Structure 1
Amino acid sequence: MRQTNRSNSTTGTIYSRDSWTAPTWALMERELIDTLNEAAVEYVRRYTREDGTIVWRSDWPGMDGSDDPYEAFMNLSLLYVLGGNEEIQRLSRLMFDAITWQWTEYGQIHNEFDAYYDWMHHGEGYLYFYFLGLSDPQSLKNHQRAVKFAELYTGNNPEVPNYDANLKLMRSPITGSKGPRFQMTEEDWVTHRGVLDDYLAPFEDVPGVDFASGKCKWSDDAIYSEIISRMNERKAKGDVPLNLNATGLMTNAYMYTGDETYRQWVLDYLDAWAERTQRNGGLIPDNVGLSDTIGEYNDGKWWGGYYGYRWPHGFMSIIEPLTNACMNAVLLSGDRSKLDLARSQLDRNWELGKEVNGKWLVPNKHFDSGWTDYRIQVPTYPIYLWSVSMAEEDAARVDRIPYEDHFRSIDMPTISGRNGVTRKETKHYIANTVPWYLYMRGQFPDYPERILQQNLELISIQLEKLRSPEGDPTSWDWDHPYSIHQWQEFSPVYFEGLLQMMLGAPMHISHGGLQHARVRYYDAVRKRCGLPEDVSALVEAIGDEFVTLTLVNLSAFEERELIVQAGSFGEHQFIYMESFNQSGRKVGERELDGKWLPVTLASGAGIQLKLHMKRYVNQPTYETPWSMEAEGATAKLIRGRNQA
């Protein structure tokens, strides 16, 4: 049974006077935070005006685009969650509002939310908004936005009928504040034409296109017209698994409000896809029509939907939103069996594989001719499941994959942001989920120092690029559609290694995943999120019922007070503590009963804590230890004159 009582939320204070020799990782963490504080300010100054608007072109066509600037600046908010300074918080608020305004003027955003697009891109863009819940939970503006955005998808607003509440069905793959987009236009896709020339065709019967070539000339007017026509006939109506990323939006609203409506929406929508999977013989279909019929607009085929098994990315676009939704369902229900649908699809994908040159490869795509595009299964998705479940069955799903060929071996770990095989930059510089997993499994003991050093190197590389003539936005070809990605390419505000070490979790899934964590921190004196200055934190081990955490105060003069929270959203509960000194000798133990643990560190002191916990027993929330004291904590949402 979930606990909701706040009376036992905080445990008694832990006080450490044990002097510690500063560990290298601790010094590197503080160097990273200090460097990021300065780099972030320089980055914003380089690419924005005083009011936060981005230095760029005066117009932007098509439906694409608002996700990209949000993605480029979203880590400002997440940096503040870790311990960035107050200027970082100011900039994170400024940039979200400025981007929302600027892309409203361009025409992509309506009523503060994307007018219409798919949940691959909504998922990417609204990560920023979810991070604001962690960094700025007392904001009335964002609380109200959370409710307003979620209400776009409840099915209760006849003017924005994105969702069929009876059938538990999204009515289109393209949705937003203007409702479902059943008829796309050539203008909607205009910014993609050059990009998609290098992709396979979305259909096998486009006139003038050799589907087997794996290329499709969207830049050819005749071909382009045929593609849009077929998309409207076959892909624009009904539901697709990609829409499961919307569970993040609803979970976000729940954590602001505690409204059971949003929690139930997530659980019901996941159940609806589980039923469709069962109806399809255990394999999740990639398209259902408005009547909830599989393949309704696709000649009865369970494959071939928008962002489905055929186009454009294949299985990734199925398993990724499903993983996000299953993790959200566990968070909201406490029931770890909610991971089963994602598990079943990983297993089914594995069973469909075949051995090639001594390695087990799985199909990534399905064409009319059958399964194809065989690859090594991506190990990150079962790692995310394992990080939630702590179940050996999920570890086994990771360990069966020959991931040393998918990523560099642990002897040559990736530089954050670079895939070890392709050497291409990875999305949002999230590249080291596998090495983190190995560290948590006791197989990579020097990972903390190595990943933190690489994190510092990455920032240095990015700053050099930013300061170069190439990084001058006035020199960019703004007419090129790729220019909308430039800010991400030049951002130095990346910190995957720092986040992993501090929070004891992989960095979020880049297409819409909430930032789950085993622990997070508050500065007890300043009454804000993040570590106090001079304090470093390292999660050294996690298990089903414990986390091993080391805290060090690097100040030689000042004691520091912090609060450790059980889970990103207070979803866990501390029940018992063992403490150790730097030599590993036990120096204390105590029973606990709360989601917040205050710790005071004397100057130069450190402590290792083995914190025993019950997981997923508390209602997840953006509540802080001081929520009820905060200005505006009891403020009611604002209602317009035409609202009841």
Structure 2
Amino acid sequence: MTPDHHGDPAPQRITATVRSAAPPVWAVLQRRLFDDLDTAWRTFRDRYTDPADGRLRYTGRIEDRDGADDFYEAFFNWPALYLLGGADDLLPAVKQHWEGVTAQLTELGLSNDEFERGYDWFHQGEALLMFYGICAADPDDPRFRDRALRFAHQYLPGSPTGNYDPARRIVRSPHNGSDGPRPGLGPQWDDGFAEDQPGMRPYGLPLEDVPGISSWNDLADPELAARMGRHMRDRLGRGDTAVNLAATALVTNAWLYDHDPRLSAWVLDYVDAWRERAERHGVLPDNVGLSGEVGEYHDGRWFGGHYGWTWPHGVHTLGAAALVGAVSACLVAGDADRLDLARRPLDQVWKQRRTGLLADLPAAQRGAWEPLLGEDATRPVTLVPTRVGVHGWFDPQPPQTAYWTWLWWYGQQDQDRERLDALAREAGYDWSAVHAFRNKEEAGHEPPWLSYLAGADPAYPEQALQMALAQVRHRMALIAADDAGPDEIDLHWWQRLNPVVTEVLTQLTTGAPQTLYNGGLQLARVRYDDLDRGRPGLPPDVAALVEELDATTTTVRLVNLSLTRTRTLRVRGGAFGEHLITTAHWQITPAPEAPDAHAYGLPAPDLAPLSAAVDGNALHVTLPPGHEIRLRLDMRLNASRPRHQSTPTHSRSTR
């Protein structure tokens, strides 16, 4: 286990001496984005939430198990914005919304004891992003700390919920939560899986081997629809499924408070159980029966489980769950040894790649990929089969670059860099292009960001920030035009109108990809604390840009746009203080002279290099008005035990 290096008694203090001759365009755009987002979240709050307790304005009923995630997803990235430097009152607003929505879901019958009663972890992971963000933003809040521990304990051996079987190392049901293992998939499907579901039709049959059912149209027969429902209940609604790996983030989030060994032991035990199954079968299976056997309800097949390889999303679901599990295990173990779990599903589809046209794909898939590829959508691109069923691999789509990016970014291993380089080399589209789109996960701009980090796309920060600003404006226009009443709201409507965008800010300021949407923790190469105001995030007027990163160094540029105020901040290594900063390198202006009022030209200062040992998780940086600094930080990744970072104390008044 890596040692603790938190709370260093005397962090290195650095003062910027280089004046910014002109504000960098990216810095001005970044601060404008912070300002616009401050207006945007308030507008959304006023339009869609109840001021009394923060719940969403909704008067409908929910008759099945689905829906809780949609309520939380309306705010999924609001805590992330606060951690990056959003408004002071954003955090209390987010907490109010979480508590109001949780009470609302309890009234609707979806939650018990403040936690989902029992649903799949594809959706629960989405719902918990908001909660994880609150815990990271304010770990000193005892209410959310207690909730984090209580929620995690639901999955430990001996929990009254009975979610986990320690002898067979399985979660006992695909639907699980505060009510324990929840049999079947709920009345929505157990009572009959009919063909009149336009949202599910593109995914095809949930089970391909039900007697008498060979096509979607067969489900129009009520008897066959009922038969499919019974098979789904008895086969998809029992045993463990790989998407449950996302529950490891819930337990890791609780472990980050005080390193309870029971929590870390569960994460490692559960992840290692899936690694061992993958090793035995040579592939990552998606289902385990209650006896502990892979394929128990699928004639011995390693595929076919709920939210698994066959239905509905394939590698989209399995890739995310495997990454969440692998990264969670690596965090608690302090190494990168378990990333093999995340490599499995990506390698499985990549080795079967081929070249094809998006025009040949079903319309539902084209609609998702065309905005992401822009003009390149008409050219041949690399496609991978995303699903496998009894008839073989199918459903080809372009690889989801976020998963390969996360794999390389977390471990910084050569083999994963090679995987990423092969993906870029064979993609068939321009990785440097910044396309104006925003999907549900608010991800997908990894290629141009990676091109920028590699030095091939220096314009990315400005282009990406302009794109983000345009996305905020677009959603503000949608909100202004929305005249739907609370009884007309589609449960996904709030997600589509959420005007908070954080992908680009996360990339540029923290040097990390956007958080994995299906239940990932918010990680960072560097994180900031505003020491003047005693809170996390960048101070007002300060912009940050991570320009380079590799396995041993990170280069970040900090700019103070204020003309009158000095800003003081702390730069941490990692989201949870897990990276050790060994040495800092920067440039200074030796013995600066007072500006000459008689000179017509702008001064060009002489610069000299300077280095200082840090040997801790953090350093303090003072930015006088109109000054900037470029820090090259030598780092030892994952050298310290990660921990939720407490709110910093004030260093001085801002006035």
Q: How many residues align?
A: 609
> Cα distance, 1:403 vs. partner?
7.4
Q: How does 1:390-469 map to 2 (within 5 A)?
A: 390-401=412-423, 409-410=430-431, 412-417=433-438, 426-468=439-481
The answer as to 2:305 corresponding to 1:301 is no
Letter in 2 for 1:413: V
Which residue pairs with 1:579 in the alignment? Answer: 586
> Cα distance, 1:586 vs. partner?
4.2
Worse-superposed segment, 263-272 or 184-193: 184-193
Does the C-alpha gap of structure 1 residues 219 and 619 become closer, same or farther in structure 2, counting only changes over 3 Å? farther
> Cα distance, 1:35 vs. partner?
0.8
Kindly provide the CA deviation profile for residues 336-381 of structure 1, in whole angstroms up to 9, marking residues without a partner as x.
1221222233223323445669866432221212222334433221
Does the C-alpha gap of structure 1 residues 453 and 86 become closer, same or farther in structure 2, counting only changes over 3 Å? same
> Cα distance, 1:473 vs. partner?
3.5
Worse-superposed segment, 341-350 or 386-395: 341-350
Structure 1: give runs of 5+ residues left out of the alignment: 418-425, 630-644
Corresponding residue SS for 2:622: strand
Distance (whole Å) between structure 1 residues aligned to residue 190 and residue 425 of structure 2: 36
Which residue pairs with 1:511 in the alignment? Answer: 518
Which residue pairs with 2:360 in the alignment? Answer: none
Which residue pairs with 1:227 in the alignment? Answer: 228
Letter in 2 for 1:182: P
Corresponding residue SS for 2:325: helix
Does the C-alpha gap of structure 1 residues 38 and 625 become closer, same or farther in structure 2, counting only changes over 3 Å? closer
Does the C-alpha gap of structure 1 residues 19 and 503 become closer, same or farther in structure 2, counting only changes over 3 Å? same
Does the C-alpha gap of structure 1 residues 475 and 243 become closer, same or farther in structure 2, counting only changes over 3 Å? closer
Letter in 1 for 2:523: H
> Cα distance, 1:607 vs. partner?
0.4
Corresponding residue SS for 2:32: helix
582, 596, 602: which one pairs with 2:624?
Answer: 602
Corresponding residue SS for 1:195: coil
Which residue pairs with 1:558 in the alignment? Answer: 565
* Alpha carbons 2:139, 2:645 under 8 Å: kept: yes
Kindly provide the CA deviation profile for residues 491-550 of structure 1, in whole angstroms up to 9, marking residues without a partner as x.
111121122100101111111111111001111021111111111111000011111011
Does the C-alpha gap of structure 1 residues 283 and 584 become closer, same or farther in structure 2, counting only changes over 3 Å? farther
> Cα distance, 1:229 vs. partner?
0.5
The answer as to 2:147 corresponding to 1:140 is no
> Cα distance, 1:580 vs. partner?
2.6
* Alpha carbons 1:169, 1:292 under 8 Å: kept: yes
* Alpha carbons 1:194, 1:218 under 8 Å: kept: no
Corresponding residue SS for 2:419: helix
Worse-superposed segment, 22-31 or 201-210: 201-210
* Alpha carbons 1:9, 1:593 under 8 Å: kept: no
Q: How does 1:27-176 map to 2 (within 5 A)?
A: 27-51=28-52, 52-158=54-160, 160-176=161-177
Does the C-alpha gap of structure 1 residues 83 and 7 become closer, same or farther in structure 2, counting only changes over 3 Å? closer
> Cα distance, 1:472 vs. partner?
2.7
Corresponding residue SS for 1:592: strand
181, 189, 200: which one pairs with 2:204?
Answer: 200
Letter in 2 for 1:227: M
Which residue pairs with 1:315 in the alignment? Answer: 315
Kindly provide the CA deviation profile for residues 46-84 of structure 1, in whole angstroms up to 9, marking residues without a partner as x.
001112121112422210111111111122211110111
Q: How does 1:236-315 map to 2 (within 5 A)?
A: 236-280=237-281, 282-315=282-315
Letter in 1 for 2:208: E
* Alpha carbons 2:440, 2:495 under 8 Å: kept: no
Q: How does 1:604-619 map to 2 (within 5 A)?
A: 604-619=626-641
Which residue pairs with 2:351 in the alignment? Answer: 351
Worse-superposed segment, 558-567 or 331-340: 331-340
Does the C-alpha gap of structure 1 residues 26 and 402 become closer, same or farther in structure 2, counting only changes over 3 Å? closer
* Alpha carbons 2:432, 2:447 under 8 Å: kept: no
* Alpha carbons 1:70, 1:128 under 8 Å: kept: yes
Letter in 1 for 2:511: G
> Cα distance, 1:312 vs. partner?
0.6
Letter in 1 for 2:232: M
* Alpha carbons 2:128, 2:519 under 8 Å: kept: yes
Distance (whole Å) between structure 2 residues aligned to residue 359 and residue 85 of structure 1: 42
Does the C-alpha gap of structure 1 residues 396 and 492 become closer, same or farther in structure 2, counting only changes over 3 Å? same
Corresponding residue SS for 1:126: helix
Distance (whole Å) between structure 2 residues aligned to residue 508 and residue 584 of structure 1: 41
Letter in 2 for 1:415: A
* Alpha carbons 1:564, 1:597 under 8 Å: kept: yes
* Alpha carbons 1:499, 1:507 under 8 Å: kept: yes
Distance (whole Å) between structure 2 residues aligned to residue 116 and residue 257 of structure 1: 27
Which residue pairs with 2:327 in the alignment? Answer: 327
Kindly provide the CA deviation profile for residues 600-638 of structure 1, in whole angstroms up to 9, marking residues without a partner as x.
111111100001111101111112364899xxxxxxxxx
Corresponding residue SS for 2:226: helix
* Alpha carbons 1:428, 1:488 under 8 Å: kept: no
Letter in 2 for 1:347: D
> Cα distance, 1:167 vs. partner?
2.0
* Alpha carbons 1:74, 1:92 under 8 Å: kept: no
Distance (whole Å) between structure 2 residues aligned to residue 171 and residue 99 of structure 1: 28
TM-score, scaled relative to structure 1: 0.90
Distance (whole Å) between structure 1 residues aligned to residue 514 and residue 606 of structure 2: 29
Corresponding residue SS for 1:173: coil
What value does the CA root-mean-square deviation take over the aligned residues?
2.4
Does the C-alpha gap of structure 1 residues 372 and 155 become closer, same or farther in structure 2, counting only changes over 3 Å? same
* Alpha carbons 2:432, 2:457 under 8 Å: kept: no
> Cα distance, 1:398 vs. partner?
1.6
Worse-superposed segment, 21-30 or 181-190: 181-190
* Alpha carbons 1:4, 1:618 under 8 Å: kept: yes
Which residue pairs with 1:421 in the alignment? Answer: none
380, 405, 416: which one pairs with 1:383?
Answer: 405
Distance (whole Å) between structure 2 residues aligned to residue 40 and residue 31 of structure 1: 14
Letter in 1 for 2:85: G
Q: How does 1:490-501 map to 2 (within 5 A)?
A: 490-501=497-508
Kindly provide the CA deviation profile for residues 402-451 of structure 1, in whole angstroms up to 9, marking residues without a partner as x.
57857x6246422141xxxxxxxx22322212211121122211100000
* Alpha carbons 2:175, 2:184 under 8 Å: kept: no
Does the C-alpha gap of structure 1 residues 220 and 85 become closer, same or farther in structure 2, counting only changes over 3 Å? farther
Distance (whole Å) between structure 1 residues aligned to residue 541 and residue 238 of structure 2: 54
* Alpha carbons 1:69, 1:484 under 8 Å: kept: yes
Does the C-alpha gap of structure 1 residues 586 and 260 become closer, same or farther in structure 2, counting only changes over 3 Å? farther
Distance (whole Å) between structure 2 residues aligned to residue 219 and residue 141 of structure 1: 49
> Cα distance, 1:155 vs. partner?
2.5
* Alpha carbons 1:202, 1:311 under 8 Å: kept: yes
* Alpha carbons 1:517, 1:567 under 8 Å: kept: yes
Corresponding residue SS for 2:177: coil
Kindly provide the CA deviation profile for residues 109-168 of structure 1, in whole angstroms up to 9, marking residues without a partner as x.
11100001000001000011110122121111100000110011113223x111112222
Does the C-alpha gap of structure 1 residues 188 and 88 become closer, same or farther in structure 2, counting only changes over 3 Å? farther
Corresponding residue SS for 2:544: strand
* Alpha carbons 1:193, 1:219 under 8 Å: kept: no
* Alpha carbons 1:554, 1:605 under 8 Å: kept: yes
TM-score, scaled relative to structure 2: 0.88
Does the C-alpha gap of structure 1 residues 318 and 561 become closer, same or farther in structure 2, counting only changes over 3 Å? same
Letter in 1 for 2:394: T
Distance (whole Å) between structure 2 residues aligned to residue 394 and residue 493 of structure 1: 31
Corresponding residue SS for 1:138: coil
The answer as to 2:473 corresponding to 1:472 is no
Distance (whole Å) between structure 2 residues aligned to residue 256 and residue 329 of structure 1: 16
* Alpha carbons 1:185, 1:228 under 8 Å: kept: no
